Structure 1
Amino acid sequence: GLFDPEYVNIFGVPFTFLPHEGNDDGPPPPPTPKTAVFPDPAKAEYEIIWPNVVRVERILHPTLEIDWTKVDPLTLNAAQTARVAELAPVIEGKPDVTRISRIELERLAREFRQQRIIFETARDVFDQMKGAWRGSREVLLAQLVRLVEKFVASDLIKVVPLAYHNDELRKRLIITLSMSRVVQHIARSVEQASAERLVPVFDSERPIRSTADMPTWYTGKPCEYTQKSHINVCVYDSTWEASDAYVLDTSDSVAAWVKNDHLGFEVVYIFRGVVRKYRPDFLIRLSTGDMLVLETKGKQTDETRAKHAAMQEWVEAVNTHGGFGTWRFAVAAQPADIHDILADAND
């Protein structure tokens, strides 16, 4: 006789598998995960509430200032400046900007007057900053132009090759043609040095969220019932998480905790120009009443640093608001760190 039909899931879609096409009833559905994950009404005392922040805004001082000792130097490469590189003769496959005639350089300098370029670029930066600016457009532009002019006149800009740096005409031309980079460089320092306070902007429809809001979902992953979490079980993605969950459930320093899984607790961050969402691992209410956001991350990368910086800003903004108690943020670089983190947070 024929073999019984077999089935396989391809990207979650069940297909019959030869040598038999199956019967008219079709393949059986994939097995449903057995464990339901939900907020346990019997453990409502362990509910955790948090502000639903969609973004953090910087409110700037009416007067912009820069701590020049903290401004990083900026290097501009003439060969990477498009309008200059176009004029340069190509030597051994690369544009040699040192061989551009002075007549051509003077023509470019007349075409791109530095004062006009500074103002036009500052105007573009204003469009990025105006949401956090409480003064008039004209006041901001005037201050930005003043700061850019001071930066241009400082020794914080280096132009390469050296022949361009030591020649005032060439140096001024490269700075002018790179003004977008110059102003963006300054704008970052202005925003940091002149921030009056960080302000959380809440979701207009759901300004506050809670573990009680989590809908029931199902899992086939390893999990364990919890004692001090509003959610009935903690689903483990690693042995490290299982270890942390045990410590949180048994520590006298912890009043309540929850793994940030399907909760909707997210912090917006920007990495390489793309807006993304960061979901830290645990939310913890300490025995002191303070809140702790805990991340377990062994390896540091540029992106994890961007995530953690955004989380720190979130904490500062929420604490400045004052309506949600005191929040902290900590990162465990290895499993054993959680003990010291809890001890420090409760001091």
Structure 2
Amino acid sequence: MAPLKNLEREFPIIDSNFQNFCASHGIFSVEDFLVHDLYTLAAYAEQNIASERLKEGITQVLSILDDMHQPWLNGMELLEDAKRNKHFLQTGIQGIDMLLGGGIRVGQLTELVGPSSSGKTQVCLKTASNVARNHLSTVVYLDTGNSFSPQRIAYFLGKTNELASAQGNNAILQKVMSNILCHSVFDIFEMFDVLHKLEYRLRSQDRGVDTRLLIIDSISLLITPVLGSTSSQGRALMVSAGYLLKKLADQHNLAVLVTNHTVGGEGGTFKPALGENWKSIPHTRLLLYCDRTSNACNVTILKHSSMASGKAARFVI
């Protein structure tokens, strides 16, 4: 899914006149069509002097939405795809990698859930440094709360290469840092813009090295402001974001790692934020909790496509 202006080159019917018509009704992207009353939009188009062309544009956008649905695949095709493309990326954290049977899975969306100071960002930074160093892959890191720390990545690399020379460490540090592309993103629409540009880049294959990891720390900071008790548009934007992330993961063999905070639940317990509509989106959900007195962290599987919930591990970053 993309901003309408990005579609004009491939679909001339979505020209500036069509874009201006849509913008006058608060529609700027394909996502906006998902939450708009299309019957009302078509009625407004009828009143326009260019009604036929506008209706053609509406039909074209609906066709684009239809094309987004994946074709049916049989079980053998899915198995072959999993063997060929859906590998693991090691986080570099032994407890997590062993718990998950190798690391976070390429082609899937993994979510880290935890309260403040539970270690979510540290896991993201450690994973980014490990993938950028050992897989020679580009990591796209969306920082939503000014928590990205290059100093922390340098610390992780220093521990990994503590026996290497200072010159060698500096070369590794430069290589790793150049492989991590960090974007500061502060609202969900900025996130959509970055993700659409990433999707275009991946589709065009115009890149020097493969992108294998996308991190959003934190997804809940972007989605929570658009949610409301009666906001169907906010929920639709959330589901659209989840759909786009899973699409990027599956079609371009990315591992997508996002973080989510916790909120109070019944009986004083805590539960992942973003509610039931988001709950079904991640393939894997991990609950993090850190003991500040010992710096040890616990990770528990809340949801996994092939493992039982409740399995846990302990680690220190």
TM-score range, shorter chain: under 0.3
TM-score (norm 1): 0.25
More helix by share: 2
TM-score (norm 2): 0.26
Considering only CA atoms, is the larger Rg found in Structure 1 or Structure 2?
A: 1
